[in-house]
A and B are shown apart, each in its own frame.
Chain A
Amino acid sequence: MSPILQGLLTIVIGVGGCVGYFYASNLILDKVIFPPQAKNPGRNINRANMVRPWLFLFPAMFALSLYLLYPVVGSFWRSLFNRAGDEFIGLGNYASLAADDTFRTAFVNNFLWMLVVPAASTFLGLLVAQLTDRIKWGNIAKSLIFMPMAISFVGASLIWKFVYANNPDIGLINAIRFFFGADTPLDVLQLRFWNNFFLMVILIWIQTGFAMVILSAALRGIPEETVEAAIIDGANPFQIFFKIKVPQIKGTIVVVWTTITILVLKVFDIVYTMTGGNFGTEILPSYMMSFMFRDDGRATAVAFVIMLIVLPVMIWNIRQARQEMR
């Protein structure tokens, strides 16, 4: 069967199945199990209403538990076994990771990414949000800076390959270097240490739009009186921005910052397409992919290390959510 036909069939079965499940299960609950016409209509209605939320929730919770909760446990358990998965080796995989130079490079690089990318994206996003707020064509400018959000990491990497290319007739960087008198092309992706930053530029290019959109909305939400009062008191534009506006949107800045930090831990595409992890550019997600299909024990161990790094953010998020609900 051709994949397209299979796809159409899946849509029909999936959507039909969902609607059918919700409709039928509600019907059965109301008409068969707890019919309101029976001896105790009141009690039956109450009982039906106690069960109903779980009918609504069941498919989602089942899928969530299967695809996200079970893997946390499953991955950890698998990481305790050897490559073939038949011998329990305790923390052996973690020990061999710690002894591996590439892992240490990946770990250090990942910390660099987690420091630089969120900081640069948030800063640039805030800058653009503030600058475009006052000008007439600001919305067009924002829309254009936001555009890379729609581009895949692979597509973005290809776009930047054209900028970084060795050939000065293709690569913008080498073209500029040649214009200023250089005569040997420089492959920036092979420059040890600095190549990491050239890769980060790609993610910053993508994520600045995200930061900008959210921070721009936050800036608009600042009560005008505070700004007016500062102006009357004689504050200059820089003071207004740094001392009046930024403190009021601190919460949003933190949210943007953490969201991008989490993203950095998931993105393997850029390193994979640009350098394949060579020249000292490995990061944890791409390092994990180098073990995928080859050594499940080590792959899951790396994945679990990523999970441990994410954990504080996760706990903080849950706390915030619970506070809001109160």
Chain B
Amino acid sequence: MDNIAGTKSSLTWAVHLSVALLVIVWLVPTIGLLVSSFRDRDQITASGWWLSPLPVTQNFAVRAEGDPVERDGVFVLEGNVFGEGSGEISQFGGRRANPTAFSAGELGELARGRTLSVQDDGSYIYTSPSEITRPPSIYFASETPPDFSLGNYEQIMKSAGMDRAFINTLTVTIPATIIPILIAAFAAYALAWMEFPGRGLLIAFVVGLLVVPLQLALVPMLKLHNAMGVGQSFLGIWMAHTGFGLPLAIYLLRNYMVGLPRDIIESAKVDGATDFQVFTKIVLPLSFPALASFAIFQFLWTWNDLLVAKVFLPSNSESWVMTVKIADDLLGSRGGDWGILAAAAFISIAIPLIVFFTMQRYLVRGLLAGSVK
């Protein structure tokens, strides 16, 4: 609409600015997660991810090793907190509760006449009026360079069992995406292009089922699965996802198929094609965009689902999918380990994001077909 006089207003810069602001607000949380997932776990809690390119001041603790020497009636222990290495110290302390009590170079007075001083190069002198029986702990704050690595990912994949959960998610998703498409396509064709009594009623039935809350199905279907001997299993969840995905599939595909040109289908029938041939040779290939849209929907939905997986899959670590693994296991047992959580979250959203950005066109088309009408 750029060619219409008057639409280019003086507000243009305000529009650019507000869109930029909105985009930033929308992206910041995800960027935070992504950056955090690559950071060293101690650095995550020591400085905000927005400061991650800068050196981080972290607190460390070492035991003062070495042999105490007696000098003028006091016992002295000397050494360097960095051992053989090097670094720069900003603050130090003698108690865990207050690890940054003194600045580097100061003489720190500790309890019972003991003193500790640490220079900024890490060399320390510890004195005590009584004999030193146990090596004391020295706490200090030191700047460390930013530490980005794949460590969190390695840990989560190797030791935390996320690799298993990833494969489980994939195992749930692929059959649960493919099977409903086929079943729905035949039904959609019948509802779009075949004349029979009760067609309108059936379409209304499908539309009505679109909004039935999933929650209703959980208890009765789990009971039925148990009675059928399917129980909580992969077979059960494939069947459940197929059933729950069908209304949207039929609705989307029918809406698309109805819009196909009538001439093609009728001329094929005049030439003697049966409905089965019309469907497989003409309608199905022409409906590819709608099939793709639904496939993406169903893929995202099954990949991201937590509810159905919690109910229809057994609750043990062998069959946890990623969403269940994160919600029930990682958040509980590693609730404070932000690096691990970030890496796990990112692994679980990586594939959907790839699918999203490569197939966005079909996703948008599907959304429009499903809602605008």
Contact = CB atoms under 8 A, between A and B. Distances in A.
A and B held together in a complex: yes
Interface of A: 3-4, 6-7, 10-11, 14-15, 18-19, 22-23, 26, 30, 49-50, 52-54, 56-57, 59-61, 63-64, 66-72, 74-75, 78, 124, 127-128, 131-135, 138, 141, 143-155, 158-163, 165, 167-170, 172, 175, 205, 208, 210, 213-214, 217-218, 224, 227-228, 231, 237, 252, 255-256, 259, 262, 265-266, 268-269, 272-273, 285, 288-289, 292, 296, 299-300, 302-304, 306-307, 310, 313-314, 317-318, 321-322, 324-325
B349 A152 contact: yes
5 contacts: A53-B199, A60-B183, A134-B1, A145-B26, A237-B7
Interface in B235-290: 235, 238-240, 242-244, 246-247, 250, 274-276, 279
B218 to A, nearest CB: 6
Interface string B311-336: 10000000100010011000100000
Interface of B: 1-2, 4-7, 9, 11-12, 15-16, 18-20, 22-23, 26-30, 32-33, 36, 44-50, 167-168, 170-171, 174-175, 178-179, 182-184, 186-187, 189-191, 194-196, 199-200, 202-221, 223-224, 234-235, 238-240, 242-244, 246-247, 250, 274-276, 279, 300, 303-307, 310-311, 319, 323, 326-327, 331, 338, 341-342, 344-345, 348-349, 352-353, 355-357, 360, 363-364, 367-368, 371-373
Given A4-B171, A56-B190, A72-B212, A158 B326 contact: yes
Contact of B349 (A128, A155, A317): A155
A155 B345 contact: yes
B211 A292 contact: no
B323 A152 contact: yes
Contacts of B355: 150
Given A74-B220, A155-B349, A259-B371, A7 B171 contact: yes
B234 A7 contact: yes
Contact of B19 (A22, A72, A131): A131
Given A61-B187, A128-B19, 14 more contacts: A6-B234, A18-B182, A57-B186, A63-B183, A64-B243, A124-B22, A144-B23, A147-B26, A151-B353, A172-B29, A214-B367, A289-B307, A307-B213, A307-B216
B367 A159 contact: no
Given A158-B341, A205-B26, A266 B208 contact: no
A7 B1 contact: no
B234 A64 contact: no
B211 A314 contact: yes
B372 A60 contact: no
A155 B348 contact: yes
Contact of A68 (B22, B170, B218, B243): B243
Contact of B168 (A3, A160, A266, A296): A3
Contacts of A134: 1-2, 7, 12, 15
B310 to A, nearest CB: 8
Given A71-B217, A151-B304, A310-B212, A60 B32 contact: no
Contact of A324 (B279, B349, B373): B373
B246 A292 contact: no
Nearest to B43: A169
B218 A303 contact: yes
A15 B179 contact: yes
A285 B215 contact: yes
B221 A71 contact: yes
A143 to B, nearest CB: 6
A317 B203 CA distance: 11
Given A135-B19, A158-B342, A162-B32, A67 B244 contact: yes
